Amino acid sequence: MNRESMLIEPGELLARLGHDDLRIFDASVSDAAYREGHIPGAAFFDHDAFSDPDSPYGTTLLDIDRLNQRIGASGISADAEVVVYACGVLPYAARAWWVLHYAGHDRVRVLNGGLAAWQAAGGQVEQVARTYPPTTFSGRPRLALFAAKEEVLAALANPETAVIDVLPLESYEATHITGSTSLSCLDLMQGMDAFLPLDALAARLSETRDHKRLITYCGGGIAAALSAMAHVMVGQTDVAVYDGSLDEWIGEGLPVTGDGDWQIWKRQG
């Protein structure tokens, strides 16, 4: 995959608005921002609806059968062109992209710059809630895109695999999976809306290029998806998100370095 197949710029989306096969989703943190204003025709991507209600750990992935059903119920068929974006929190759009790509959808892109870039390019917004007619979806899942805790445990003893904490450095220094490295996702974005240019991304991620497989993690599998997308953009083909991330790792009593207060960075802003 390359950057052009993963991202769409506002000008191109403006030109494609209204196409019958286009499905646009606002994947913001909650529907409050969606209701305040969204791209005309866009539906709301509810992360809770794509997460396992039986899991104690936040946004953990649905099993593939329920995920396929959820995707189809959202109006996404295998041949639809899908664009996802978020309002000021790019990692949530990246999570939506990663989930759909994992399920086997081949035509998903993130709107680079999100709603702010859309409006800056002359795009209008609306407040009317939208949905798409339900359909069916059946893709070939890319199972290697998500890692379970058992794989993470094994990877920590494998020098060919890097386990990467993508939270801010303050969080990593407070608590991290023992044996993991730090590479903050904040260093991969321009603000919280857009990815860095490709050459800047490649330079920032150069230290991981010698590893055969990468596993990214965060608090609950959201920010990790953004980092994983960035690695794929610069040519790393074997990348996974540890879905349970620190929520599960600490909850299961698995080895950490630090005092357990990985959310310290949230209180320092």
- Helix crossing, 90-102 with 223-233: angle to 10°? 70
Give pLDDT tens digits along the chain (269 positions).
899 999 999 999 999 998 999 999 999 988 899 999 999 999 999 999 999 999 999 889 999 999 999 999 999 999 999 999 999 899 999 999 999 999 999 999 999 999 999 999 999 999 999 999 999 999 999 999 999 999 999 999 999 999 999 999 999 999 999 999 999 999 999 989 999 999 999 999 999 999 999 999 999 999 999 999 999 999 999 999 999 999 999 999 999 999 767 665 454 33
How far is residue 251's CA from residue 261's CA, in Å, rounded to a whole number?
Answer: 13
Domain ranges of the chain: 3-140, 144-267
- Identify the pLDDT of residue 188: 98
Write out the two tokens for 168. Answer: 């801010």
Q: Do domains 3-140 and 144-267 have the same CATH topology?
A: yes
CB 176 within 8 A of CB 242: no
- Phi then psi for residue 97, to 5 deg, are -60, -45
Q: Can you tell me which residue has the tokens 């086997």?
A: 104
- Identify the pLDDT of residue 54: 93
- Identify the pLDDT of residue 267: 43
- Identify the pLDDT of residue 264: 56
C-alpha closest to that of 186 among 218, 215, 211, 212? 218
Pairing of strands 22-26, 81-85: parallel
How far is residue 176's CA from residue 167's CA, in Å, rounded to a whole number?
Answer: 9
Architecture per CATH, domain 3-140, reads as 3-Layer(aba) Sandwich (3.40)
Q: Indicate the fold that domain 144-267 takes in CATH.
A: Oxidized Rhodanese; domain 1 (3.40.250)
C-alpha closest to that of 70 among 1, 17, 138, 158? 138
How far is residue 75's CA from residue 237's CA, in Å, rounded to a whole number?
Answer: 29
How far is residue 153's CA from residue 107's CA, in Å, rounded to a whole number?
Answer: 33
